Structure 1
Amino acid sequence: MVFKLNNQLLSKIATGNGHGEDSPYFDGWKAYDEDPYHPTKNPKGVIQMGLAENQLCFDLIQEWLKNNPKASICTPEGAEEFRDIAIFQDYHGLPEFRNAVAKFMAKGRGNRVTFDPDRIVMSGGATGAHEMVAFCLADPGEAFLVPTPYYPGFDRDLRWRTGVQLIPVECESSNQFKVTRKALEDAYDTAQLDNIRVKGLLITNPSNPLGTILDRETLKSIVSFVNEKNIHLVCDEIYAATVFSQPDFVSISEIIEEEVECNLDLIHIVYSLSKDMGFPGFRVGIIYSYNDAVVSCARKMSSFGLVSSQTQHLIASMLSDDEFVEKFIMQNKKRLATRYSSFTNGLAQVGIKCLKTSNAGLFVWMDLRRLLKEQTVEGEIALWRVIINNVKLNVSPGSSFRCTEPGWFRVCFANMDDQTMEVALSRIKTFILKSKEAKMSVKKLCWQGSLKLSFSSRIYDEIISPHSPIPHSPLVRART
């Protein structure tokens, strides 16, 4: 006899939808998983452009690994250290690991600041780091302000298990989505009216999904804001070393060392090696807090999601190689700049614009507002379904990032080789040209007075309408 599980026997987390998997952001992943592109085995499959992964410098990593076999305890050269690494390690982490990460963080910020290894707390990726910070700073029902558009995973990372709320700080394309003091004040006042206690402000710098950096004056204004409100500032800086053109990245750690009035206990940095080094599978997340109590609490919490000692050992060896790190950072910036230029130039050939202030990250913020059937979220999702089903590209709609202006899409460009990028561009160009041809055809028919058709209904309902709904999968993905 088979018994069905009674959901009343499970927790609210187990039966709820707090993870946020049921969204276009994750649905795009499922569509790719069911029909992944391969240049020979499946050339008509979905190309993955929803994954913010850095694969442009793996050859440098592979070369280093071949030249440094002792760094791994799973090689004949490194086997002598197997026992010392394999036995129990406490949650402070290997000293050499914390020292190497602190040094790498400084190099990624131009050595304009230094970081204390004793303030570094490790976590299972930035996902775990963000959740630990939320647990340390806020109680269930309290809130963080978050400028929009923001990474969809924040709803999972900060809200799902902590009970913390996120309150959007609405930013607009009219000023390149800049975070203004007025927008911060408006969001804070709205929370006060709703009787919600604001405990902090979360910023991503460089931004995901915009690929922009916060300038020095904006950062000073933000520090002034949190200091006046006596709330915490959590700075996600996981894309710090992906800035590939001017202006340079400015870390919050630089701002607080200047003549800016600030309570250092309010400042916390989240970092990882997932983006700058391209190591998301290693799950190396970092919390760097200027607050002693947060460091102490987070370190105790880290025992639930430690970085393996084997990974710590390898990372410590690699990041302690100054010559390699310098070469990697320089080449990473150079290759990102080249790929960004190639991809945006290809889009520009068919009149597609991207946010012009982007100079960092692994993606572009693509403007397809003129292609929307209607300027609504529903219109954006309709276009997104066409792109998934017909164009066969997994791109992420702006509404998934809480963008208030329909028609923006995040498109990742650093997780593929040059050939795949050219295939993706070719598909986009074909799609845009067909759209233009349909529009011209409709205009001609209307001018001739033979038919009263609108461009929007023609293009979506007949010429490039989606053939099938997005497939759903029981798999829960935790990707960025």
Structure 2
Amino acid sequence: MHQLMGGSVKFDPSNMVLTAGATPAIEILSFCLADQGNALLVPTPYYPGFDRDVKWRPGVDLIPVHCRSSDNFSLSITALEQAFSQARKRGVKVRGILISNPSNPVGNMMTQDMLYSLLDFAEEKNIHIIADEVFAGSTYGSKKFVSIAEIIDSEYIDKSRVHIIYGLSKDLSLAGFRVGVIYSYNNNVLAAAEKLSRFSSISTPTQRLVTSMLSDKSFIQEYFETNRNRIREAHDAFVEGLSELGIKCAESSAGMYCWADMSGLIRPYSEKGELELWEKFMSDAKINITPGSACHCIEPGWFRICFTTIALEDIPLVIERIRRVVESCKSSS
């Protein structure tokens, strides 16, 4: 994490709890910060796995904070205020905000000013912030990723409210190794998380392999640079191919996916129409993409398409399959 951020942040190992991937890290923090029936605010669209990680066993609810395409699905404090106030009117206790930065599925990143505003909001409402930063190193745009860890050195900020999640599955392509970490400034949370992590331990063989790999700093740096270049190349090729079909994507700077607007292809303009288009991609094009409704997107017709699961030379084949579906939708309408 220190190397990923160019040495700008020093991380204290005593503030870390290792877990078998980011999934149990989110679940553990849900157990630590909230009781059953409490809630976390989460900007939409959001990673569908959050529903599983936060709701299934911890029993914590997720309250969507709806963001819209007109703002490139960026979060606003006004939207947070509204969601918080509505939850309080319903008698729901909000215990924190769960963000993914860089965003999954949109691929945009929070600005430094927005992170400061989030911290102010959390302090005002007496709630916590869980920052999922698993795509921190998978950037390809001109914008620099800013970790929340970089901006909390100010004296007035209550660090005990901030909890960061990271893992090796995305930036180092080690999904099957199941290596994640909770980084918290709250001693009580760390103590509880350490006990709960006993049920999601990283295997000893994995620890030995990963320790050896991470110790080779020159390799890690070279890997990050190579990976970023490859993601950028795949992203540009895929987005260009979609653009030629009349499909626009949200502006993004990170991640292994694009957030594509196919609202013009759905009939009716609703979740039903969106799911029918998703089924058409599955049955006719043999392509599985994530419908926006699975990410709690308030606007029908948006889809997340992962472009790093295929080789660069196979992108034209996928674009051709998408073209056939697009033409079929246009002819039928």
Distance 1:308 1:416 in 2: 29
In the other structure, the counterpart of 1:212 is: 108
In the other structure, the counterpart of 1:424 is: 318
Deviation string, structure 1 residues 101-143 (Cα, Å, up to 9, x no partner)? xxxx011122211111111111111110000001111110111
In the other structure, the counterpart of 2:268 is: 374
Deviation string, structure 1 residues 222-259 (Cα, Å, up to 9, x no partner)? 11100111100000000000011211100000111246
* Alignment equivalent of 2:29, drawn from 111, 117, 133: 133
Higher relative CO (Cα under 8 Å, sequence separation at least 6) belongs to 1
* Alignment equivalent of 1:413, drawn from 293, 298, 307: 307
Deviation string, structure 1 residues 281-309 (Cα, Å, up to 9, x no partner)? 01111100010111111111111110011
In the other structure, the counterpart of 1:57 is: none
Deviation string, structure 1 residues 29-49 (Cα, Å, up to 9, x no partner)? xxxxxxxxxxxxxxxxxxxxx
* Alignment equivalent of 1:247, drawn from 117, 140, 143: 143
Distance 1:323 1:127 in 2: 29
Q: Counterpart of 1:213 in 2: which secondary structure?
A: coil
Q: CA deviation at 1:418?
A: 2.2
Q: Counterpart of 1:389 in 2: which secondary structure?
A: helix
Give the partner amino acid of 1:371.
L
* Alignment equivalent of 1:362, drawn from 235, 256, 261: 256
Deviation string, structure 1 residues 453-479 (Cα, Å, up to 9, x no partner)? xxxxx34xxxxxxxxxxxxxxxxxxxx
Q: CA deviation at 1:176?
A: 0.7
Give the greater-gyration-radius structure (CA): 1
In the other structure, the counterpart of 2:119 is: 223
Q: CA deviation at 1:420?
A: 3.0
Gaps of 5+ in 2: none
The alignment status of 1:268 with 2:149, answered yes or no, reads: no
Aligned alpha-carbon RMSD (Å): 1.1
Distance 1:321 1:148 in 2: 38
* Alignment equivalent of 1:279, drawn from 174, 183, 188: 174
Give the partner amino acid of 2:11.
F
Deviation string, structure 1 residues 426-476 (Cα, Å, up to 9, x no partner)? 11123223444x1xxxxxxxxxxxxxxxxxxx34xxxxxxxxxxxxxxxxx
Deviation string, structure 1 residues 270-289 (Cα, Å, up to 9, x no partner)? 11101000111011111000
Distance 1:245 1:128 in 2: 30
The alignment status of 1:330 with 2:225, answered yes or no, reads: yes
* Alignment equivalent of 2:215, drawn from 303, 312, 320: 320
**Length-normalised TM-score, structure 1:** 0.68
Q: CA deviation at 1:340?
A: 0.4
The alignment status of 1:310 with 2:205, answered yes or no, reads: yes
Q: Is the 1:364–1:411 contact (alpha carbons within 8 Å) kept by the matching residues of 2?
A: yes
In the other structure, the counterpart of 1:340 is: 235
Q: Counterpart of 2:2 in 1: which secondary structure?
A: helix
Distance 1:157 1:434 in 2: 38
Q: Is the 1:339–1:413 contact (alpha carbons within 8 Å) kept by the matching residues of 2?
A: yes
Q: Is the 2:280–2:325 contact (alpha carbons within 8 Å) kept by the matching residues of 1?
A: no
In the other structure, the counterpart of 1:110 is: 6
Q: Counterpart of 2:103 in 1: which secondary structure?
A: coil
Distance 1:138 1:188 in 2: 15
Matches within 5 A, 1:47-86: none
The alignment status of 1:433 with 2:327, answered yes or no, reads: yes
* Alignment equivalent of 1:402, drawn from 288, 296, 299: 296
Distance 2:100 2:221 in 1: 24
Give the partner amino acid of 2:10.
T
Q: Counterpart of 2:137 in 1: which secondary structure?
A: helix
Q: CA deviation at 1:350?
A: 1.3
In the other structure, the counterpart of 2:132 is: 236
Give the partner amino acid of 1:345.
E
Q: Is the 1:282–1:311 contact (alpha carbons within 8 Å) kept by the matching residues of 2?
A: yes
Distance 1:304 1:232 in 2: 24
Gaps of 5+ in 1: 1-104, 439-457, 460-480
Distance 1:328 1:234 in 2: 27
* Alignment equivalent of 1:349, drawn from 207, 224, 244: 244
Matches within 5 A, 1:10-21: none
Q: CA deviation at 1:161?
A: 0.5
Q: Is the 1:319–1:325 contact (alpha carbons within 8 Å) kept by the matching residues of 2?
A: yes
Q: Is the 2:111–2:146 contact (alpha carbons within 8 Å) kept by the matching residues of 1?
A: yes
The count of corresponding residues between Structure 1 and Structure 2 is 333
In the other structure, the counterpart of 1:30 is: none
Distance 2:98 2:154 in 1: 21
* Alignment equivalent of 1:290, drawn from 158, 169, 185: 185
Q: Is the 1:147–1:169 contact (alpha carbons within 8 Å) kept by the matching residues of 2?
A: yes
Distance 2:41 2:170 in 1: 24
Q: CA deviation at 1:379?
A: 1.1
Distance 1:324 1:190 in 2: 49
Give the partner amino acid of 2:34.
A
Distance 2:249 2:287 in 1: 17
Q: Counterpart of 1:297 in 2: which secondary structure?
A: helix
Give the partner amino acid of 1:268.
H
Q: Counterpart of 1:393 in 2: which secondary structure?
A: coil
